[in-house]
Amino acid sequence: MEYRKLGKSELQLSAITYGAFAIGGNMWGGNEEQDSIAAVHAAIDHGMTSIDTAPFYGFGRSEELIGAAIKGKDRSKIQLLTKFGLVWDGSNQGKGEYFFDANDGGRNIPVYKYASKANIIKELEQSLSRLGTDYVDLLQLHWPDATTPIDETMEALDTLISQGKIRAAGVSNYDLAQMKTAGKRIQLASNQLSYSMLNRGIEEDIIPYALEHHIGIIAYSPLERGLLTGKYFKDAALKADDHRNGYFGQFSADKVEAFLDRITPLAESKNASLGQLVLRWTTLQPGITVVLAGARNAAQVIQNARSMDIELSEQDIRFIHTALEEVYNGMNA
CA dist 272 → 183, 269, 302 (Å): 40, 8, 13
Pair 120, 102: CB distance under 8 Å: no
59 and 104 in contact (C-beta within 8 Å)? yes
Out of 57, 112, 174, 328, the active site residue is 57
Contact 162, 248 (CB under 8 A): no
Is there a catalytic annotation at residue 18?
Answer: no
Rg of the chain (C-alpha set): 19
Q: Is 31 helix (H, G, I), strand (E, B) or coil?
A: coil
DSSP-H helix ranges across 132-270: 150-162, 176-183, 206-212, 244-247, 253-269
**Cα 82 from Cα 305, distance rounded (Å):** 21
- 192 alpha-carbon distance from chain centroid: 7
What positions carry a catalytic annotation? Answer: 57
